[in-house]
Copies of this chain bind each other. A is one copy, B any other.
Amino acid sequence: MNNFDFYNPTRIVFGAETVGRLADLVPADARVLLLYGGESARKNGTLDEVRAALGTREVQEFGGIEPNPSYETLMRAVEQIRDQQLDYLLAVGGGSVIDGTKFVAAAVGYEGDPWQILETRGRHIKQALPFGSVLTLPATGSEMNAASVVTRRATKAKLAFSSPHVYPQFSILDPTKTYTLPLRQVANGVVDAFTHIMEQYLTYPADGMVQDRFAEGLLQTLVEIGPKVLAKPDDYDLRANLMWTATLALNGLIGAGVPQDWSTHMIGHELTALYGIDHARTLAIVLPANLEIRREAKRGKLLQYAERVWHITEGTEDQRIDAAIAKTRSFFESLDIPTRLPGYNVGADAIDDIVKQLERHAMTQLGEHRDVTLEVSRRILEASV
Contacts and interface: CB of A to CB of B under 8 A. Distances in A.
Interface of A: 1-16, 18, 207-210, 213-214, 216-218, 220-221, 224-225, 236-237, 240-241, 244-245, 248, 253, 256-257
B1 A210 contact: no
B237 A207 contact: yes
Contact of A218 (B4, B210, B236): B210
Contacts of A10: 7
Contact of A7 (B11, B207, B245, B248): B11
B14 A256 contact: yes
B14 A248 contact: no
Contacts of A208: 241
Question: DSSP majority for the A interface?
Answer: mixed
A9 B11 CA distance: 9
Given A1-B244, A5-B11, A213 B218 contact: yes
Contacts of A9: 7-9
A225 B248 contact: no
Contacts of A216: 213, 217
Given A6-B12, A7-B12, A209-B245, 7 more contacts: A5-B12, A5-B13, A6-B14, A7-B10, A210-B217, A210-B218, A214-B214
Contacts of A257: 14-15, 240, 244
How many identical chains are in the complex? 2
A238 to B, nearest CB: 9
Contact of A1 (B11, B220, B241): B241
A211 to B, nearest CB: 8
A210 to B, nearest CB: 5
A310 B224 CA distance: 21
Contact of A15 (B4, B213, B253): B4
The 9 closest A-B pairs by CB, nearest first: A3-B15, A213-B217, A9-B9, A207-B237, A7-B11, A6-B12, A1-B240, A209-B241, A209-B221
Contact of A8 (B4, B8, B15, B213): B8
A199 B185 CA distance: 37
A325 B217 CA distance: 23
Nearest to A12: B6
A131 to B, nearest CB: 16
A163 B227 CA distance: 41
Residue from the set A2, A3, A18, A237 with the largest chain B CB neighbour count within 10 Å: A3
Contacts of A236: 1
Given A209-B224, A244-B210, A1 B237 contact: yes
A169 to B, nearest CB: 10
A66 B238 CA distance: 47
A159 B244 CA distance: 33
Contacts of A221: 209-210, 213
